[in-house]
Structure 1
Amino acid sequence: MSLERYRAERQSAEQRLREQPTPEVAEGSELAHYNLGLAFRQKGYYTEALREYRLAIERGEDRRLVRQAMAEVHLLKRDFTDALELYESLIHETADSPKLWNERGVVLHQAGRTADALTSYRQATEVDPRYALAWNNVGVVLAHQSDADDAIEAFRKALQLSPQFVGARLNLALLLTHLRRFQLALEAYRQVLADQPASAAAWNGVGLVLVELKRFPDARNAFVRAVEADPHNAGAHYNLSFTLSNLGDYDGALRATKRALELDPYYVSQKFALAIDLQYETVAIGIVPEISADVSAESLGGEFAFDQRLLDNIFQELEPAATAAQAAPGGLAKKADDPLALARDYVSKGMMDLAVAEAMRAVQRGADRGQAATMIGDIYARRGLHGEALERYREARTLDAANSAAVLGEVKSLLAVHRAAEALPLAEELVATAPDDVEVLVAAARARAATGDAAGALTALRQAQTRAPARADLHKLQGDIALKVGDRQSARAAYRAALDLDAGFVQVWLELGRLHEQDEEWADAQRAFEAALEALPTFHEAGLALADLLRRSGNARAAILRLADMLEQDLYDMDALLLLGRALLDDKRPAEALEAFRRALKFDPRHTGALFYLGATLARLQRYGEAVDAWDRVTRIDPGGPFAQRARMHARTAVDLQHIFSTSDAA
């Protein structure tokens, strides 16, 4: 597996090398074979390059120069033994070359000898204190050794010596991200983007910071920019998939996952980059961070306060000049007859912040205020900000009472905030004026279903299905409504019809799996959950549902393995952690279950589910006094909650058992 991953990275690197200019070969010169070897190396043909270098030595070309080039090729090929032997020999001849000491360090670093690598990098900085590449590599080693302050100082030293050294600034930003110093990390990425607006690594880093801050809409915009800057960046595609999944856009997440898998079958994390100095290639050798995400509270320097202005600046300063006389780059030129065309284009590319800003500027240039307000409302609704969306839709209706798009948007937002009674009359008005509009019929069906009119909802849905028979989401909604009124067979039929139209509709697989599970059709339920995960591996709900199904059907060990994989992706996944504890308890491993529940309570000391199952585990271990204390905390924290009644019942039983055992011991 690791060989396949290395091969994929190698092929990607070779493709980038082939796209670069080729150095010319000086035929008939004293360095003809050396130059030809450079040309082969630059194309990624390392075996051919080494053959030419050997011929160069045989023909009497500059021996030291050719041997240095051979060492570089062995380094790029990851032939560490041969590379190290050549570098040792070269340094013996030329001990005052910081380049040789630095590249020797890179060989040692990649071979796993980080202590020796650090010594070599430091020797390079002693030979030439202004050799920025070596300072960068010192920072990478120190970051791996969790010497964060010295690592930051090394990266900053590299940047003082070479302010345009993008690799060092990206390394600094990545280290700050892992240290959870998000404000400083964003500032470092902003500086990279100020010089290189198309830096995929920087946009990807911005997105990772925003994910940590749970700002998923903004993170999506950043990952979209990363993918646009480098369509072959597998890591950015994976990160976009995770973010879209968190936003509930499962179709978009599925598309991003498929593209990422095409590029690289394994998740590609953001890496520190070692730097070496080659004549024609720009090479950065990736090193996966080994910094733990478990950072002590003391290192965070108090409560984190995020400065929204910095994020705004990142997107706004780097925005293509929409108001300039020349055409906007990247196919964003706006049509003369549609002042909102550029904003619409931003929406289509997922750049929501830019779209809002452009729509506001378009109004200042004379665009229709009602249309602009409707567009901004749509953007807010897509980001889940339905309260703000409602204000915009109502503003648009005030400006133009006949704006049906604004009315439809208001209906959808009212339904999203569970105000169906207000949405229904507006939906009925829309049906009266546009009885053939599928979106209107769907909105009416949702409003009717939410207010208890299932028959009316199904009538509207059938009309919509007649006009759009290929829409799987209409069958899914039909199944949801049937399930709501207890018609499980109709719900199953509707879900299967949806899957016939779209086999990758993951939410339908999840609902169908739950139906099978409730009917104790374990095998069918497992197949449905697995189908959802096959279509979208990052589908968190399906992962939890499958693990819980495995646990409940007696396969606790398989559930434990799946939950462990989920927790490797997100250490703070409270639902997975609680389910892991329950699976361990079912597998008769109460001591490990106890550790899982205690870990959950470190994240949230008032989590009633974790406290309840902690009590159950302690009771299993016959530690009844501690179990009763845990259950008492459940009833004090949430006396009317779902765990409180069970906690009271278990506490009474535990007290009785404690009394029995204490009496037995006394006897």
Structure 2
Amino acid sequence: DDALEEIKTALEIKISPDVYRILGEIYFNKGVIDLAIRNFRESITLDPSLAEGHFLLGFALGEKGRIDESLEQVKKAIALNPALAQFEPNLPIDIKEHKGHWEFLKEQLGTPKISKNEYQVHFNLGMTYRNKGLFSEAKREFEECLKFQPDNPDLQLALGEVDLFLGKFDSALEFIQKAYEFDFDSPICVNTWGAACCLKGDLAEAAKLFDKALALQNNHTAALNNLAVVESNLNNSAKALDYYKKAIDCGCAEARYNLGMHYLRLGEHENALKSFSG
């Protein structure tokens, strides 16, 4: 019930297909099928490419006995995302309660195979979720990838990044360090490792890692900006300013904002205004 109220509040703030989908899931699992259908429809009206919205709408329609409409929506969903043909590792609804309808749908659809390259399907879907800010869903897809390529450094790094967003810093470090074992000359990997240390409060170790990332690629904008932030927090103003300016020269817009905040902390309001105004 608390989650339901939070989602309703989110809808009042910003109309979002993902929020409507999540609200539909809550109603679906509470057995309020008509409201679930309404919210799933709102979701795919705002974003017709949202495969899970179509899929869940199909299940909700099936609960109401509207079989033809159910099949139509599930077909659309699987056409948009073949990974949904697997169902069980991909959907947030109660599988045991609704598996009978899924078995019926599989008979009707012939259940298309996910893909010759199952790893890439799950990985691409995970990246889509990550870029939309749906980090739990992204992690679920990346974990599916572990079945196919458990030692892939890009996958390990992706899992580490998602865990950082989820606030799971210890497990994030484990994934990132494993990625580093397989790809030790990647500035992206080293920079992400530094970000994890920074979030854990180990600024000294973070600074070393950002330096290492820059040794691997001297114009790595994220590492320059991150190192500037660390130096600022360590009260090394001259070093922070130097790194901020280098990051800005490399085209890092975030560094310009951070530089402005740095000037504000120093009480240099005119310089802060110049930085914010570009």
The equivalent of 2:212 in structure 1 is: 463
Letter in 2 for 1:423: A
Conserved 8 A contact 1:396-1:403: no
In the TM superposition, what is the alpha-carbon distance from 1:520 to its structure 2 partner?
1.5
- Equivalent runs, 1:585-604 vs 2, <5 Å: none
Distance in 1 separating the partners of 2:273 and 2:188 = 34
Q: Secondary structure at the match of 1:366?
A: coil
Deviation, structure 1 residue 307? 2.5
Measured at CA, do residues 453 and 382 of structure 1 come closer, stay the same or move farther in structure 2, by a change above 3 Å?
Answer: same
Equivalent residue number for residue 527 of structure 1: 274
* 2:133 paired with 1:395: no
Matching residue within 456, 476, 490 for 2:225: 476
Tell me what 2:16 maps to. Answer: 215
Inter-partner Cα distance in structure 1 for 2:206 and 2:15: 36
2 CA distance for matches of 1:396 and 1:515? 41
The equivalent of 2:197 in structure 1 is 448
Distance in 2 separating the partners of 1:315 and 1:382: 18
1:360 is matched with: 83
- Residue 214 of structure 1 aligns to a residue in which SS? coil
Deviation of the 1:464 alpha carbon: 2.1
Contact map agreement 1:396 1:406 (CA 8 A) in 2: yes
Per-residue displacement from partner, 1:297-343 (whole Å, max 9, x unpaired)?
A: xxxxxx9x9632254266259xxxxxxxxxxxxxxxxxxxxxxxxxx
AA partner of residue 525 (structure 1): A
SS at match of 1:364: coil
Query: Equivalents in 2 of 1:315, 1:365: separation in Å?
Result: 21
Counterpart of 1:438 in structure 2 is 187
Q: Which letter maps to 1:488?
A: S
Residue identity opposite 1:215 in structure 2? S
Go from structure 1 to structure 2 and tell me whether the alpha carbon gap of 1:427 and 1:365 turns closer, same or farther (over 3 Å shift): closer
Q: Which amino acid aligns with 1:404?
A: P
Going from structure 1 to structure 2, the CA distance change for 1:216 and 1:527 (only over 3 Å counts) comes to farther
Letter in 1 for 2:177: E
Report deviation, 1:523: 0.9
**Post-superposition offset of 1:427:** 1.4
1:558-569 superposed matches below 5 A: none
Change beyond 3 A, Cα 1:410–1:356: farther
Q: Within 1, Cα distance between the matches of 2:271 and 2:200?
A: 33
Aligned to 2:5: none
Aligned AA (2:15): K
Q: Which residue of 2 aligns with 1:308?
A: 40
Report the Cα offset of residue 422 of structure 1: 1.6
Separation in 2, partners of 1:355, 1:367:
15
Verify the 8 A CA contact 1:359 1:376 in the aligned structure 2.
no
Out of 250, 258, 261, the position equivalent to 1:514 is: 261
Secondary structure of 2:267's partner? Answer: coil
Residues of 1 paired with 2:275 and 2:268: CA distance?
Answer: 11
Query: Which deviates further from its counterpart, 517-526 or 363-372?
Result: 363-372
On the 8 A contact 2:17/2:42 being kept in 1, the answer is: no
For 2:260, the aligned partner's letter is G
Change (3 A) 1:354 1:481: farther
Q: TM-score scaled by structure 1?
A: 0.27
Verify the 8 A CA contact 1:427 1:443 in the aligned structure 2: yes
Q: Is the 8 A contact 2:126 2:142 kept in 1?
A: yes
- The 3 A distance-change label for structure 1 pair 214 and 477 is farther
Unaligned stretches of 5+ residues in structure 2: 1-10, 20-34, 51-75, 86-111
SS of the equivalent of 1:493 reads helix
Matches of 1:356 and 1:445, distance apart in 2: 40
Distance 2:169 2:258 in 1: 23
| Letter aligned with residue 315 of structure 1 | P
1:192-591 correspondence to structure 2 within 5 Å: 213-215=14-16, 307-312=39-44, 315=48, 357-360=80-83, 364=113, 366-502=115-251, 505-531=252-278
Distance 2:233 2:120 in 1: 36
Residues 445 and 458, structure 1, Cα contact 8 Å, conserved in 2: yes
Work out whether residues 374 and 405 of structure 1, in 8 Å CA contact, stay in contact via their aligned partners in 2.
no
Query: Please, what is the CA RMSD of the aligned residues?
Result: 3.3
Distance in structure 2 (CA, Å) of the matches to 1:490 and 1:468: 19
- For the residue of structure 2 that corresponds to 1:457, the secondary structure is helix
Q: Do the aligned residues in 1 keep the contact of 2:16 with 2:43 (CA within 8 Å)?
A: no
Structure 2 distance, partners of 1:216, 1:495, is 37
Distance 1:359 1:438, change over 3 A: farther
Does the Cα contact within 8 Å between 1:476 and 1:498 map onto a contact in 2? yes
Structure 1 residues 499 and 211, CA gap change in structure 2 (3 angstroms): farther
Distance change >3 Å, CA 523–CA 410, structure 1 → 2: same
- Counterpart-to-counterpart distance in 2, 1:387 and 1:489: 40
The one-letter code sitting in structure 1 at the alignment partner of 2:179 is: L
Bigger share in helix = 2
Q: CA deviation at 1:413?
A: 0.7
CA distance in 2, matches of 1:496, 1:488: 12
Relative contact order (C-alpha < 8 Å, sep 6+): which is higher? 2
Asked if the contact 2:115–2:121 (Cα under 8 Å) also holds between the matched residues in 1, the reply is: no
- For the structure 1 residues 309 and 214, does the alpha-carbon distance in structure 2 shift closer, same or farther, using more than 3 Å as the test? closer
**DSSP 3-state at the match of 2:81:** helix
* Structure 1 contact 509–529 (Cα < 8 Å) conserved: yes
One-letter identity of the residue aligned with 1:360: A
SS of equivalent to 1:307? helix
Q: Between Structure 1 and Structure 2, whose CA radius of gyration is higher?
A: 1
Q: Could you say if the C-alpha distance between residues 521 and 413 of structure 1 is closer, same or farther in structure 2, counting changes exceeding 3 Å?
A: same
Give the match for residue 73 of structure 2.
none
**Structure 1 residues 415 and 486: alpha-carbon distance in aligned structure 2, compared to 1, 3 A threshold:** farther
Amino acid at match of 1:309: R
